[in-house]
Amino acid sequence: MELTKLYVAATQLTDALTDIKDATHRYMFWIADTDPISLNYPITIVKDLTRLLLLDTLSQLSGAKSYLRQSG
């Protein structure tokens, strides 16, 4: 009987440690993959928008929209 209680307690402890390990990896060791906002942020936004518009994105989106209307 005591061995069964010990086994159940050990299993619960192992489960709790696994949950804690998962939580620490999920919340405490998260590292942002972007640069922090600096004074160059507005310049970066303009460059990114220019690059996006140079890719002819708007015409591609309108073409996709019309294709979806025709096929649906």
The token pair that represents 8 in the structure block: 């159940």
Tens digit of pLDDT for each residue in 10-44? 999 999 999 998 888 877 766 666 777 889 989 98
Write down the domain spans for the chain: 1-31, 38-72
- The C-alpha torsion from 21 through 26 and 27 to 28, rounded to 10°, is 60
DSSP 8-state class, residue 31:
-
Lowest mean pLDDT among 9-13, 43-47, 52-56: 52-56
Global pTM? 0.38
Confidence band of 61 (pLDDT split at 50, 70, 90)? confident
